[in-house]
Structure 1
Amino acid sequence: MKTALWSACAISALIVAALPSGAPAQMDEPATQRRAASVEQLIRLYNSDRGSIQRFYDMEWSEERFDRLERFYGEWQAKLAAVDAAELAGEAQVDLVLLRNEVEGAISHLELDRARLKEMEGLLPFRDAIQVLERERRQMEQVDAEGAAGVLAGIEAKVKSARERIEAGRKRKKGDDGKAARESEPEGGAEEADDGGIEVSPVLARRTAAAVRELRDTLNEWARFYEGYEPAFSWWTRRPLADANKALDEYAKYLRETIAGLKGEDEDPLVGDPIGRETLLADLKQEMIAYTPEQLIAIAEEQFAWCEAEMLRATAEMGLGDDWRGALGKVKAAHAAPGEQDNLVAEQARFAIAFVKERDLVSVPELCEETWHLRMLSPESQKTLPFAVYGGQYMGVAYAAESMGHEDKLMSMRGNNRHFSRIVTPHELIPGHHLQGYVAARSRPYRQTFSTPFLVEGWAVYWEMRLWELGYPLSPEDRIGMLFWRMHRCARIIVSLRFHLDEMTPQQMIDFLVERVGHERSGATSEVRRYIGGDYSPLYQCGYMVGALQMRALHRELVEGEDGGRGAMTDKQFNDRVLLEGPIPIELIRASLRDEQPKTEAKWMFAGERK
């Protein structure tokens, strides 16, 4: 009791320290202790304070934002270092590790953002001018309309200068005869020559184009504040503002289309931003994965080899000897007729729900089972989501659409055949993401802050593994469908990590998916475009198989009693407990389920010791 009281007081002191000094009496320390003396409350306070800072300092590429966030994270590091985890209850210990890891990970990514801004600096000579205008507005300084007009007039000239330097770099690279003078181009940044010319990589051009659009939006938000309210403002700024907007729009288009080659067409090159080994290691630390990128690639190759052996076994059962590509082609040809894909998927969903309920594998609340539906994915969506997606109470279903070209239709139909979709459907709905999301919204929802793909996607792929073991596939064709996806999960680890290690190009990633996994080329291209497009974290693609392997290892410990585990849980008890913990790193779920104090750094070698 004394320890628990001390912990409550210590955490309450941190909460109170973050409140305003002039807070009213009802917010004094004793009241705060009674109301929210917990690490959970610290997490809520952290989220609220960070949100306030990010919303106020909302210019993405500004030193002011970076400096303020760096100070914020440094203050929180010091606060959390003062809390003794040993004096907290088990759940609070897990929450403390989560929050500490979150802060450390945020600092790492802040450093990466600073480095990326430095790479763009020479391409954004107008950035300071725009950000100063907006900063002065936020500080409620009186606008000098005439002076502002002068600043605006200077933006067009700065854009012109930047374009001239880029063009000089392009001409120098090509050489006087128009041929490439060098075999390689800058990997991720800009190379500046003595003559002032800049060589810009497609990666940097794409990132800078996005930054230019953000700066243009900042400029227009600044102008809207004064237009119609400050009589002299429009008189002075209307024309130079229009000219600045035109110059910025054209510059962003030039960077994206001419330099990066991204014109919004199917033939666009695939351009991504590798983060490098050091940032990968920092991300793995935050996700509490004890392996290096190279070790994870080796694990994926081992899993891939198992899949290939099983694929040959299923191929032989189909009477096709060792022609696994022929077997895969036969499986792909077994697709629904136009107009029937939604009925097929709905039938598969109902079968999967009945399968897990009849075997009492996991609790399926009635409302969860009731409240899901299907949506067909548009041809545009299928450029990055060629198979399926869970969208929050609905599963997006990919299939050939009337407006698609003939070859695209055939590839979509083959890529979403009945044997592939038979395991995709439970992955997305029940017992996969739909059930997971339903429980997460009702159990420890504050842990959404720490959501990790190693649990979110790992949970769904773990169920693919368990369904395989429990006899879910009814034929060798079904097994090939399931193996295709498991090979796909292995390939995701290999290609995404090698991309971020600068060991594999986007085209090589596509070729790997086509040649080693058996993807349709359009589907492989869509997948790689999604992997490197920036909408997902660099480790997201690893989360599927690595998280599933973690879950499977934990199941062996706590249900099957292997690897020195207790083996006292039923499947249902185990699966329900995992869901109730929320979408957090699985090593911390393991500590909670084993009633152990969580470690501050990853130690669990769930796939065996590695050199």
Structure 2
Amino acid sequence: MDRGLRDIGNLSLGDQEDMRSRIERVTEDLKDINLFYNIEYSGVRKARLQTFLSQSLEELKEAPFNSFDQQNRIDYLLLKNYLSRQLDQLDLDVAKDKTSALLLPFGPTILKLCEDRQQMKPIDGKKAAQDVFEIGKQIMAMKGKVERKEVKISKTSAFRASNTVEKLQSHLAEWYGYYNRYDPLFTWWLAEPYAKVAVELAQYAASIKEGLVGIKPEEKDAIVGDPIGRDGLLKDLEAEKIPYTPEELLKIGELEYEWCEKEMIKASQELGFGQDWKRALEYVKDLYVEPGKQPQLVLDLATEATEYVKKHDLITVPPVCEETWRMFMMSPEAQKVNPFFLGGDSIIVSYPTDSMPHEQKLMSMRGNNISFSRSTVFHELIPGHHLQLYMNARYRPYRQIFETPFSIEGWSLYWEMILWDDERFVKSPENRIGMLFWRMHRCARIIFSVKFHLGQMTPQECIDLLVDWVGHERATAEGEVRRSFAGDYSPLYQAGYMIGALQLYSLRQELVVSGIMSEKEFHDRIMKENQMPVEFMRALIKNLPLKPDFKSTWRFYKNLE
């Protein structure tokens, strides 16, 4: 049987397959397809995924939606939304690859060599050597055009092409390593041309970055990014079930920032700095612990937050969850991308090492001061990400494929809002400034990330906004922007913190403040339903009417209306 043409998705289970089983099957099938067809640039991979996703959507239409209970209806809508979004992403990837193809005339040959190996087709060493030799000629010809500035292409497309060259170099190395020495004739033919092409690919990627993107070899930390435009943002907002335009998101960010600034001034006045809240912020930044003391600070803050939510019965904290979080220190290199703490199963603590330059040490200490760290710790551990990931692994874990920053990051920032409101949670003016810093930061994240993808801000302007609006240290601002646009996060990820938190906050008003549910019932229910867009969570908990062609309508941010 031809493995490439085998229909993995269609098991002819029809209406007998419940939604959980269907989701688990699709998840595993996609995992296998992506593992086997592992070259992102490949048209074969994209075609196989498109076939599978389209077939899965067609099969889903046959499911008996009207006879489902609310849980199965939500699962139906989650899977439909997920498959549609994956198809949209494929279309976007195809369009972007077309814009960078000009720089990759040798790409199809490398793809064929690697994919023939994946299909375990016989190898002709002499022919393969000629193919590799021709690849080298094409690389050198294109390298010359790049250096003579004869290629007209956008910076973002060129940057994508340079990254693709590096990935193709890695795949070609895997191809060569598979045959080398195991097939003596292959090695006899390929040793010299392959070694030459491996070097030429690396040099060509560097030439593209320097000549077309403007990144010199020594500028390893340069920020480029790849804006998706307004239409791309609208598609992502629909997939996230956010019925607002990019312009409305910007307005929400501005309104929330105005609230934060008013509260900052109040705290500043209490500390004797009057209206000049930035001076008060600088004062708070200097309240950091001495070298070697940061782990103990994190432990004390984690204990405080955990004991607080347990004492006031705000959410269930399972004993194993409370017992098993771990702490690690972040490397200086990692702090260039993640200048603050990271969390989840463990908390990874940012603090300078003796190897850092003096100025960078001070910025790291000031950026992770006592009051900033207080919010960060309960954001990352309990009741934030550590508790969230613990529960997600144990309750409806099949929904983890529907992970969204509006739920993941929204949950942790939501707790920052709840503890701000809770007068029982003791907050000095310094603590309030620390909490407001992060809240301002999430407002700025909406603005700089959305404007970047709209083509209205450059990465440098994004850095400047974080410094000027929020009071970031420049090094931490650079790290935040580098992290945002490096390609590891979706375009709406940074907006997901504040927008997701506002969704959960609004849902709490409907269910807890109204008296329908207790605080603990509400929080436990959200944790036990796992990952999904927050509007689906609202429909599930409130048992709202659902249809297969669900459209987002929940205008949760009343200040905008």
Bucket of the pairwise TM-score, normalised by the shorter protein: over 0.9
Please give the alpha-carbon distance, in whole angstroms, between the structure 1 residues aligned to 2:36 and 2:128: 22
Alignment deviations for residues 25-60 of structure 1 (CA, whole Å, 9 cap, x no partner)? xxxx69x94xxx310111111112222222222221
Which of 399, 403, 406 does residue 358 from structure 2 map onto? Answer: 406
Query: Which one of the candidate residues 517, 540, 543 is aligned to 2:493?
Result: 540
Separation in structure 2 between the aligned mates of residue 278 and residue 81 of structure 1, nearest angstrom: 27
SS of residue in 2 equivalent to 1:389: coil
Q: Letter of the 1:211 partner, please give it.
A: T
The DSSP-based 3-state class of the residue aligned with 2:152 is strand
Deviation at 1:395, TM superposition (A): 0.5
Q: 1:70, 1:110 within 8 Å by CA — same for their partners in 2?
A: yes
Q: Is the 8 A contact 2:402 2:531 kept in 1?
A: yes
Matched, 1:18 2:10: yes
Residue of structure 2 equivalent to 1:606: 556
Structure 2 match to 1:458? 410
Structure with the greater alpha carbon radius of gyration: 1
1:430 aligns with 2:382: yes
Q: Which residue of 2 aligns with 1:591?
A: 539
8 Å CA contact 1:316–1:322 kept in 2: the answer is: yes
1:222 correspondence with 2:170: no
Provide the C-alpha distance between the structure 1 equivalents of 2:495 and 2:213, rounded to a whole number of angstroms: 27
Deviation at 1:160, TM superposition (A): 1.1
Q: Could you tell me whether the CA contact under 8 Å between 2:206 and 2:217 is conserved in 1?
A: no
Q: CA deviation at 1:341?
A: 1.0
Amino acid in the other structure paired with 1:426: F
TM-score, with structure 2 as normaliser: 0.95
Provide closer, same or farther for how the CA distance between residues 394 and 609 of structure 1 changes in structure 2, counting only shifts above 3 A. Answer: closer
Q: TM-score by structure 1 length?
A: 0.87
Partner of 2:4: none
Are 1:520 and 2:473 counterparts?
Answer: yes
Partner of 1:469: 421
* Equivalent of residue 443 in structure 2, options 490, 500, 518: 490
Tell me the residue number matched to 2:94.
114
Q: Distance in 1 between matches of 2:182 and 2:372?
A: 60
Counterpart of 1:157 (choices 127, 137, 159) is 137
SS in 2 for 1:313: helix
Specify the alignment match of 1:574 in structure 2: 522
Structure 1 residue 242 corresponds to structure 2 residue 191? no
CA shift, 1:305, in A, is: 0.4
Measured after TM superposition, the shift of residue 258 of structure 1 is 4.8
Residue 51 of structure 2 is matched in structure 1 by: 71
Q: Are the equivalent residues in 2 in contact too, given 1:588–1:598 (CA < 8 A)?
A: no
Which segment is superposed worse, 259-268 or 137-146? Answer: 259-268
Give the AA of the match of 1:103.
Answer: L
Aligned 8 A contact 1:489 1:544 in 2: yes
User: Structure 1 stretch 264-273 or stretch 138-147: which is displaced more?
Assistant: 264-273
Structure 1 counterpart of 2:367, one-letter code: G
CA displacement, residues 86-107 of structure 1 (integer Å, 9 cap, x when unaligned): 2111111110000000011001
Indicate how the Cα distance of structure 1 residues 16 and 542 shifts in structure 2: closer, same or farther if over 3 A, else same: closer
**Kindly, what percent of the aligned residue pairs are identical?**
45
Give the structure 1 partner of residue 252 of structure 2: 299
Alignment pair present for 1:53 and 2:33: yes
What's the offset of the Cα at 1:133? 1.8
Q: Deviations over 1:118-141 (max 9, x none)?
A: 011110111111112223333333
| Number of equivalenced pairs | 552
Partner of 2:453: 500
Unaligned residue ranges in structure 1 (runs of 5+):
1-14, 21-28, 170-196, 562-566
> SS of the counterpart of 2:80?
helix
8 Å Cα contact 2:146/2:212 also seen in 1: no
- Equivalent position amino acid for 2:10 in 1: A
Root-mean-square deviation (CA), in Å? 1.9
Deviation of 1:474 (Å):
2.2
Residue 161 of structure 2 aligns to which amino acid in structure 1? Answer: T
* Alignment match, 2:3: none
**Contact persistence 2:65–2:76 (CA under 8 A):** yes
Deviates more, 1:396-405 or 1:541-550: 396-405
Q: Give the Cα separation in 1 of the matches to 2:208 and 2:421.
A: 51
Match of 1:393 among 331, 334, 345: 345
Cα-to-partner distance string for 1:222-242 (whole Å, 9 max, x where unaligned): 223322233321121211111
The one of 462, 469, 484 aligned to 1:509: 462
Secondary structure at the counterpart of residue 347 of structure 2: strand
Q: What displacement does 1:268 show?
A: 4.2
Call closer, same or farther: CA 1:200–1:269 in 2, change over 3 Å: farther
CA spacing shift, 1:96–1:360, aligned 2, 3 Å: same
Equivalents in 2 of 1:267, 1:448: separation in Å? Answer: 34
3-state SS of the aligned residue for 2:63?
coil
Matches of 1:276 and 1:420, distance apart in 2: 33
Note if contact 1:93-1:597 (Cα within 8 Å) is conserved in structure 2.
no
String of CA shifts for 1:265-285, please: whole Å, max 9, x gaps: 578432111111111111111
Cα 1:451/1:554, change in 2 over 3 Å: same
Unaligned runs of 5+ in 2: 1-6
Post-superposition CA distance 1:449-474 (Å, at most 9, x none): 00011011000000000001113242
Q: 1:135 aligns with which of 115, 120, 139?
A: 115
The amino acid that maps onto 1:370 is E
